[in-house]
């Protein structure tokens, strides 16, 4: 048996959550195009679709949204941890630790049934923006804020970070981006979550496993690399030289390439449009012009396209998030997909345990330590 590098082409699960059509550049959640969902739905509506398998009626969405709003307040133990030890960690480490604390305190901790997973998911998903917001504010010497129950999930997220009600356009841009990032098949974080769930670990533990994969620059850390690159290039007039040198050195251009999409990533197309709508000042327009020039130059030279992170990075930045917060913001969106996958895994579980191809030495004679 021979190893497939990076498990490329290996089918590791049967799922009814998400379909990625890599050749066509199309993506569907539960059979619905992400373009329709991002243009017409709210984040709560899409989370409901992913968790229950069907779009909610107006009444169902009302009840679900009320439950989400009622679960935003952080418990005292978690708030105290944030104000002391967690504020000193990076945003992604703090989120990981906060999810562990929530798991330990969850009343359904030991219950892996679908109903308990949804109850836990509501508590987790509703609180994650509050954790990111509290950490953001504490890092600046500001007090964390109480949530505003008049605002929807995305608008409240921005409020809890910035301390003022966001403009309609900002809230809508964040909401659309969170929908576009909510789910993506067996990407590294979701695969990690499914492997953990496959041992019958609980939802919170599976989410911690998923969060750990977001630190790497090939997955959750890619957006921060994109913004660093855009700052380093600075102006569109430097883009061609930058790309030429990077490709000549066989370096990876951050935010380009994808294992599944062989043409365009449909999420990047929508996010680029949202960036254009949001870019209200000269600095933002300059950053986007620079991104556009890098994209044109890469496309001219190699057959790879921008992925979701290439335009998520300027979008998160325009909304006021620091690069170190991009991965936690992504997690606040992808939690919807992780929950759906963990529940699917728990419902029809078999331990995930691939084999390996051994390439080390064989049958060596043992040498006692005094003779080595």
Contacts with ligand CMC, residue ranges (CB under 6 A): 6, 187, 218-219, 222, 252-259, 304, 307-309
Residue 254 or 293 having the CB closest to ligand CMC? 254
Helix axes 282-301, 308-318, angle to 10 degrees: 170
Nearer to ligand CMC, 72 or 184 (CB): 184
Give the CB-nearest residue to ligand CMC.
257
Place of tokens 């359904």: 108
CB of 365: closest distance to ligand CMC in angstroms?
39
Helix count and strand count (H, E) for the chain: 16, 3
Whether the CB-CB separation of 79 and 134 falls below 8 Å is answered with yes
Nearer Cβ to ligand CMC (5/370)? 5
Q: How far is the CB of 116 from ligand CMC (least distance, A)?
A: 29
Q: Least distance from C-beta 162 to ligand CMC, angstroms?
A: 26
Structure-token match 């254009």, residue found: 276
- Minimum CB separation from ligand CMC for residue 247, in Å? 6
Backbone φ and ψ of 347, nearest 5°: -70, -35
DSSP 75: P
CA distances from 46 to 63, 252, 316, 351 (A): 14, 33, 20, 29
Residue with tokens 């102006």: 235
| CB neighbourhood size of 19 (10 A) | 13
Residue with tokens 């992925």: 307
- Cβ nearer to ligand CMC, comparing 85 with 251: 251
Q: How far is the CB of 304 from ligand CMC (least distance, A)?
A: 5
Sign of CA dihedral 206, 210, 65, 69: positive
Looking at the Cβ atoms of 6 and 141, the one nearer to ligand CMC is 6
Q: What is the set of active-site residues? A: 258, 309
Question: Which H or E run includes 227?
Answer: helix 222-233
């Amino acid at each position: 048996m021979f190893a497939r590098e990076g498990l490329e082409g290996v089918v590791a699960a049967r799922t009814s959550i998400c379909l990625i059509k890599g050749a066509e550049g199309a993506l569907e959640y539960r059979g619905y195009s992400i373009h329709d969902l991002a243009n017409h739905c709210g984040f709560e509506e899409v989370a409901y679709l992913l968790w229950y398998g069907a779009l909610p009626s107006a009444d169902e969405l009302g009840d679900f949204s009320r439950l989400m709003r009622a679960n935003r307040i952080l418990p005292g133990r978690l708030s105290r941890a944030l104000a002391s030890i967690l504020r000193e960690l990076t945003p992604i480490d703090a989120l990981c630790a906060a999810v562990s604390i929530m798991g330990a305190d969850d009343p359904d901790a030991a219950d892996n049934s679908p109903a308990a997973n949804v109850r836990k998911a509501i508590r987790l998903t509703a609180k994650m923006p509050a954790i990111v917001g509290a950490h953001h504010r504490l890092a600046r010497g500001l007090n964390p804020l109480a949530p505003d129950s008049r605002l929807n999930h995305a608008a409240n997220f921005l409020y809890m970070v910035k301390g003022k009600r966001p403009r309609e356009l900002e809230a809508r841009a964040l909401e659309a981006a969170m929908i576009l990032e909510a789910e993506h098949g067996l990407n590294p974080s979701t695969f990690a979550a499914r492997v953990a769930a496959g041992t019958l670990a609980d939802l919170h533990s599976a989410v911690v496993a998923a969060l750990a994969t977001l630190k790497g620059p090939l997955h959750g850390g890619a957006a921060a690399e994109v913004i660093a690159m855009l700052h380093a290039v600075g102006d569109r007039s430097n883009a061609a030289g930058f790309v030429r040198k990077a490709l000549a050195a066989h370096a990876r251009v951050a935010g380009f390439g994808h294992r599944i999409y062989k043409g365009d990533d449909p999420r990047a197309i929508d996010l680029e449009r949202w960036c254009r709508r949001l870019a209200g000042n000269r600095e933002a327009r300059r950053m986007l012009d620079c991104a556009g020039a890098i994209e044109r130059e890469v496309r001219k030279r190699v057959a790879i396209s921008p992925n979701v992170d290439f335009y998520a990075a300027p979008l998160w930045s325009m909304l006021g998030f620091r690069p170190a917060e991009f991965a936690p913001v992504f997690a606040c969106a992808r939690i919807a997909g992780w929950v759906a996958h963990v529940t699917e895994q728990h419902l029809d579980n078999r331990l995930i345990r691939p084999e390996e191809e051994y390439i080390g030495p064989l049958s060596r004679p043992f040498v006692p330590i005094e003779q080595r």
